[in-house]
Amino acid sequence: MRGIDFSSWQSLFATLLGLALVTLIGMGIRLMMMFAIQQRRERMNRQINERLRTLIAAYKVLGGSFTGDLSVDPRHMRDIRRGGAGDDDAAAHARSDRARRIRDAVESALSDIILLGTEDQVRLAEQAARDLVAGRPVQTHALVVSLRDFIRKALDLTPVPRGLDIPPQGPARPSGSKSGRDDAKGGGSGGGGGGMGMGMGMGGSDDVSQHKTG
């Protein structure tokens, strides 16, 4: 109160006007900072949710089956046709086309994981990709388990109960003319929707807690 001049109403008005301007400027700066922080949080949440949705889709492709052949056949259609020359042409074509679609979907999922996965997941995906290039059958169960644990943690779900004997998981078998990748993306969107607004970080076990914005 010492800085307020009460000697005249003009000086009092000028003093009060100055205080009001300072207050308005301070409030404006604070609102701008809050708006910038909010924009940054929304941008991070969009990136996190998109990453989670992509990894869920990759999980569904790589681990969508519990029965049948749980490995990825790395051969191309021409190789499968040469190997099945004595089989019925229609049956050989159906098997080769199915194997091709599974392989293509798995390759796409591995590419997504190498781009957006954690360090351990990238290593597993890189090894699987090398096996495919070398023509060796690929087992995806280890990568599926890593994705499953990571996604559950990112969504704040409890870990899978101990003592469960979950069968090995392998690539989803395509149905009709659609690839397993397309089917998984349809399911992945729903699964990713569960992550919308969660604001969970996706950069590994430490990053999950680091990027929480909720």
pLDDT at 142: 93
In the chain, % of residues over pLDDT 70: 69
pLDDT at 193: 41
| 119, two tokens | 């360090």
Q: Using CA atoms, how far apart are residues 108 and 150, in angstroms rounded to an integer? A: 20
**207: pLDDT strictly greater than 80:** no
Of 157, 155, 158, residue with least CA distance to 196: 155
pLDDT at 69: 79
**C-alpha distances in angstroms, 59 versus 1, 23, 53, 101, 186?**
66, 53, 10, 16, 13
Single-letter residue type at 164: L
As a whole number, mean pLDDT of residues 117-143 equals 93
pLDDT, tens digit, 9 for 90 and up, residues 85-121: 444 555 555 567 788 888 999 999 999 999 999 999 9
pLDDT at 89: 54
Single-letter residue type at 141: H
pLDDT, tens digit, 9 for 90 and up, residues 19-77: 889 999 999 999 999 999 999 999 998 989 999 999 999 999 999 999 887 888 887 65
pLDDT at 93: 54
Q: Is the Cα torsion angle 192, 165, 107, 75 positive or negative in sign?
A: negative
**2: pLDDT strictly greater than 80:** no
| 4, two tokens | 């307020």
Instruction: Quote the mean pLDDT of the chain.
Output: 77
**189: pLDDT strictly greater than 80:** no
